[in-house]
Chain A
Amino acid sequence: MNFKLLYSVSLALLMARWRQTLVAAIGVTFSITMFITLLSFMSGLNDMLDGLIINRTPHIRLYNELKASEHQALNDVEPYKKQHGFIHSVKPKSDRKGLYNAGAIISFLKTDARVLGIAPKIATQVFYTVGSIDLAGSINGIEVEAENKLFYFQDYVVAGNIFDLKNTPNSIILGKGAAQKMLVQIGDMIQITNNKGEIFPLKVVGFFQSGLSDIDKVQSYCSMETTQKILGESGSFMTDIQVKLTHIEDAPAVAKYYQNLFGCEAIDIQTANSQFETGSKVRTLISYVVGITLLVVAGFGIYNILNMMIYEKMDTIAILKATGFSGNDVNAVFISIALSIGIFGGLMGLLFGFGLTHVIDMIPFNTAALPTITTYPINYNPKFYVISIVFSVVTTYFAGFLPARKASKIDPVVIIRGK
């Protein structure tokens, strides 16, 4: 097949109807633009929302759950050993909330190659004393460096320096909401009451804002040492070990392994936040569905213009066939018209899509929920551009398929007789 010749014929046909072909190409451009924009924006949103949760959530959390022993004394008594007993009102015995052997667990985790990093934590309930009122609150005792490295702690501290938490003894970073309730400024002293009723004065060194206002009203951060002091526990006490893995998808398996190994509870991020993954998937699905719908509509545009062209250019097709062009040649001519529209429209779509996402990327987007984000999130993944151009070529090919086949089947005798 002489591609140059066939292409010159398709180009001539295309130029003869350039207005309509342009409209068809604009249809493709529009849908590809929207497709790219939707995918980039949705995936930017997904990343942002994932960031909201995944960045701040350990892949695996090791903790000690207070629960009644599964092994009850009754089971050891001879006549009941092989029987099924019902025991009502079983209560947990130990009131210890900390992890056993935390030090040993940590030194083991540090040798595990799958682990990216670990951060210990003490979660505890307290009361903020404001005048005569006690506000319920909770304090997370953290290791500042580890917390910052794994969970970008700095990003959520909107005032003050996170390292003051470590450097200033008996200091606290208050949730923004809690601070507003208590009407305190950085440098002020506040008083908190622990669960045994003991009062501790703490110095406010910063405010943090997670974006979830319910959390910001109760949550505060102290250093590990300060928290241990408040609880009257030893220097090795911790309630949680937060683990980040190199590969997040390993979390469920590794969590199960740790649970058996350490004999404590281990929950993975997928189990803890399954709804977020579903949300991301649905958003991605919606973008694809909308994009493909737009492309199909554009495909019908191309189908129409080709049908019209074939109808108008019956004579041309007839004479081409009469002078020795085969059905396949004619087919190739119309397919290449369709593909030209698809590729041209698609490439323009990539450009416009890139432009439009850039514009969106510049629109201010300030939300209390996400202090680090100032404009609408966009994910410039080259994958979207590859998918788009492939889609546009495939749809236009299918749009051209039937008209091209129709053209290739035109019988020149019928046309010539009809004159």
Chain B
Amino acid sequence: MNQVILEAKGIQKFFHDPTTVEVLKQISFSIHTGEFVSVIGKSGCGKSTLLYILSTMDTDYNGELLIKGQNMRNKKEHELAMVRNELIGFVFQFHYLLNEFTVLKNVMLPGLKLGKYTEQEVEFRAMQKLKILGIDNEALKKPNQLSGGQKQRVAIARALINDPIVLMGDEPTGNLDKKNTDIVFDIFKELSAVYNQSLLIVTHDNEFAKQTSRIIEMSDGKIISDN
């Protein structure tokens, strides 16, 4: 059960504008199934940058990224899109829900894109995810009719729709108040404990980080502690 699902080998990232800066310096680590990892570190140390690379959205880096044993290096753009669709769930600070669609349809979109299940099955699964997150009553509302905390929970449901091997979050509670932050953290804990979901969450909240199974601390583009 303790399988490696994601492995970073010597990830290095430069930004060239305005001057060439090495933002990530030889980052190497791996995540196993069911692990709940939090990433902490000072602002500007490269956490978001790392997460964008790990989620395959940023392809401009040195080093190797293996997801489920597959090297992401030589994959084409649409193959990477498929990896994101099927294997990775991502929650951002901002919810990025589409106001043109209902909450339910928003959650369903990546599932429909995957095309593994029929539309009815995807709908059923979306309702299940919404139930886990306690917002199944809002399914037919439009996102702009929800509170900030509810929106973020919809975004989590959307990230979970294809049962990703890892759920990544870049300060997913950054825009929320204390009460909603606690709700979201409780959901993450539940996902990890009950559903054995692997999580990789960037956070500024050290209290929350302490409750996770593993804390990676970064400073100036390097991992300075990992336990």
**B144 CB, nearest partner CB in chain A, Å:** 12
Q: Is A328 an interface residue (CB 8 A)?
A: yes
By DSSP majority rule, is chain B's interface helix, strand, loop, or mixed? helix
Q: Is A39 an interface residue (CB 8 A)?
A: no
Q: How far is the CA of A270 from the CA of B110 in the complex (A)?
A: 67
Contact A323 B113 (CB under 8 A): yes
Q: Is A322 an interface residue (CB 8 A)?
A: yes
**B201 CB, nearest partner CB in chain A, Å:** 16
Q: Which of A262-277 contact B (CB under 8 A)?
A: none
Contact B57 A413 (CB under 8 A): yes
Name, among B82, B90, B113, the residue most crowded by chain A CB atoms within 10 Å (CB to CB): B113
Contact bitstring A385-419, B, C-beta under 8 A = 1, else 0? 00000000000000000000000000111001101
Q: Which of A233-287 contact B (CB under 8 A)?
A: none
Chain B minimum-CB-distance residue to A320: B109
Q: Is B100 an interface residue (CB 8 A)?
A: yes
**A402 CB, nearest partner CB in chain B, Å:** 19
- CB-CB under 8 A for A324 and B94, given A2-B112, A2-B113, A12-B101: no
Q: Is A15 an interface residue (CB 8 A)?
A: yes
Contact A413 B109 (CB under 8 A): no
Q: How far is the CA of A2 from the CA of B109 in the complex (A)?
A: 11
Contact A12 B81 (CB under 8 A): no
Q: Is A16 an interface residue (CB 8 A)?
A: yes
Contact A323 B98 (CB under 8 A): no
Q: Is B93 an interface residue (CB 8 A)?
A: yes
Q: Is A26 an interface residue (CB 8 A)?
A: no
Q: How far is the CA of A383 from the CA of B43 in the complex (A)?
A: 67
Contact A2 B101 (CB under 8 A): no
- CB-CB under 8 A for A326 and B96, given A2-B112, A2-B115, A417-B48: no
Q: How many A-B residue pairs have CB under 8 A?
A: 72
Contact bitstring A193-207, B, C-beta under 8 A = 1, else 0? 000000000000000
Q: Is B86 an interface residue (CB 8 A)?
A: yes
Q: How far is the CA of A119 from the CA of B115 in the complex (A)?
A: 75
Q: Is B12 an interface residue (CB 8 A)?
A: no
From B58, B98, B115, B158, give the contact of A413 (CB < 8 A): B58
Q: Which of A289-343 contact B (CB under 8 A)?
A: 315-316, 318-329
Contact A322 B90 (CB under 8 A): yes
Q: Which of A354-407 contact B (CB under 8 A)?
A: none
Q: How far is the CA of A197 from the CA of B55 in the complex (A)?
A: 109
Q: Is A13 an interface residue (CB 8 A)?
A: yes
- CB-CB under 8 A for A16 and B112, given A322-B90, A324-B85, A413-B57: no
From A9, A13, A318, A324, give the contact of B84 (CB < 8 A): A324
Contact A323 B84 (CB under 8 A): yes
Q: Is A5 an interface residue (CB 8 A)?
A: yes
Contact B58 A322 (CB under 8 A): no
Q: How far is the CA of A413 from the CA of B49 in the complex (A)?
A: 9
Chain B minimum-CB-distance residue to A417: B48
**A312 CB, nearest partner CB in chain B, Å:** 11
Chain A minimum-CB-distance residue to B155: A319
- CB-CB under 8 A for A324 and B113, given A412-B57, A419-B94: yes
From B48, B58, B86, give the contact of A324 (CB < 8 A): B86
Name, among B84, B94, B96, the residue most crowded by chain A CB atoms within 10 Å (CB to CB): B96
Contact A328 B96 (CB under 8 A): no
Chain B minimum-CB-distance residue to A327: B77
Chain A minimum-CB-distance residue to B114: A324
Residues on A with C-beta less than 8 A from B99 are 16
A-B contact pairs, 18 of them (CB 8 A): A5-B112, A9-B109, A12-B98, A316-B100, A319-B96, A322-B55, A322-B92, A322-B96, A323-B84, A323-B90, A323-B159, A325-B81, A325-B85, A326-B78, A412-B57, A413-B57, A416-B92, A419-B94
A residues in contact (CB < 8 Å) with B = 2, 5, 9, 12-13, 15-16, 315-316, 318-329, 411-413, 416-417, 419
Given A321-B57, A325-B81, A327-B78, output 17 extra A-B contacts at Cβ < 8 Å: A5-B112, A5-B113, A12-B101, A16-B99, A318-B96, A319-B96, A321-B81, A323-B90, A323-B109, A323-B159, A324-B113, A324-B114, A327-B81, A413-B52, A416-B57, A416-B94, A419-B93
